[in-house]
Amino acid sequence: MDHFVKIYKTQAAAYHALIAAEDVDGNLLPALQAITPLAGKRILDLGSGTGRIPLLLRGLDCQVISVDLHHAMLVEQRKQLLSQAGRLVHADVRRLPLDGGVADIVIAGWAIGHFTGWYSQAWKHEVQKTISEMERALKPGGAMIILETMGTAAEKAVPPNAPLAEYYALLENELGFSKQVVATDYDFGSMERAAELTGFFFGDEMTDKVKRNGWSRVPEWTGIWSKQP
Ligand SMILES: C[S@@+](CC[C@H](N)C(=O)[O-])C[C@H]1O[C@@H](n2cnc3c(N)ncnc32)[C@H](O)[C@@H]1O
């Protein structure tokens, strides 16, 4: 089984411990709010996982619909948000079981990028199907937002590999998205915890790098692509 699929099926709590340490400076929410005001909006969060985006939006009186392919991730999201959890939909973002025009804003955070590794030559087609579903789900005048990594433990923000670079170029050059980059560093509190949690998700090379640098704070860059069709 693919490394990431295994995590999403069986290690949702550990995944959440990793992402809960990210964005220590709180740069994400202001960046999203600068694209479009979020308060009071109906938001569709695709590949919602354990609820990073719904947790970010807590207190903004948004109505969130969270979609994810892996049941264990949604179970963890319910645990994290308790009574504040919105509607959880166990589904594939490439075929949304939702009516058109359901959301003011459609967000997909760190999810679509996986397609470049999972669907070999067909990934562009799968990305385009997902973007079409995002457009279909959007109310007129709404906004689409895609977040993806621009590098973990990297000095500068650059796409981490060639397929992701191609996917980001597709968003910008063919699909009409605008891009910005924000720093979303992790702070794990200790080097040991940083090595453990980054290693679990990103692999042994990352563990070695964290230990070599003595990092408890690990640099991370996030690309934010947005479009208001
Ligand atoms: C890196 S996690 C991101 C989760 C969350 N958005 C966050 O920011 O932490 C990727 C998520 O995308 C979900 N996912 C991947 N492919 C999907 C698909 N085709 N349909 C729905 N969810 C998918 C995975 O199950 C996983 O929860």
Q: What is the C-alpha separation between 159 and 54, in angstroms, rounded?
A: 26
pLDDT tens digits for range 202-216 = 999 999 999 999 999
Ligand 1 geometric centre to CA of 91 (Å): 11
pLDDT, averaged across the chain: 97
Q: What is the C-alpha separation between 22 and 52, in angstroms, rounded?
A: 10
Ligand 1 geometric centre to CA of 114 (Å): 8
Per the structure block, which two tokens stand in for 163?
């397929």
From the CA of 49, give the closest atom in ligand 1.
27
> Does residue 83 have a pLDDT over 90?
no
Classify 221 as helix, strand or coil: strand
Residues in contact with ligand 1 (CB, 6 Å cut-off):
8, 19, 47-49, 52-53, 67-70, 73, 92-94, 109-111, 114
Q: What is the C-alpha separation between 180 and 178, in angstroms, rounded?
A: 7
Ligand 1 geometric centre to CA of 68 (Å): 6
Check residue 47 and give its pLDDT.
Answer: 98
Check residue 198 and give its pLDDT.
Answer: 97
Instruction: Give the residue whose CA is nearest to atom 4 of ligand 1.
Output: 49
> Does residue 56 have a pLDDT over 90?
yes
Ligand 1 geometric centre to CA of 36 (Å): 23
Per the structure block, which two tokens stand in for 167?
């996917």
> Does residue 121 have a pLDDT over 90?
no
Whether the CB-CB separation of 164 and 116 falls below 8 Å is answered with yes
Q: What is the C-alpha separation between 19 and 147, in angstroms, rounded?
A: 14
Check residue 147 and give its pLDDT.
Answer: 98
Q: What is the C-alpha separation between 122 and 151, in angstroms, rounded?
A: 24
Q: What angle do CA 215, 182, 35 make, to 5 degrees?
A: 155
Whether the CB-CB separation of 112 and 75 falls below 8 Å is answered with no
Query: What is the pTM assigned to this prediction?
Result: 0.97
Q: What is the C-alpha separation between 165 and 3, in angstroms, rounded?
A: 21
Helix (H), strand (E) counts: the chain: 10, 9
From the CA of 109, give the closest atom in ligand 1.
6
Q: Map 147-160 to HEC letters.
A: EEEEEECCCCCCCC
* CATH (one of 3.40.50.150, 2.40.50.100, 3.30.70.270, 3.20.20.110) for 3-189+218-227: 3.40.50.150
Ligand 1 geometric centre to CA of 212 (Å): 30
From the CA of 70, give the closest atom in ligand 1.
25
Longest dimension (CA), the chain: 50
From the CA of 45, give the closest atom in ligand 1.
6
> Does residue 42 have a pLDDT over 90?
yes
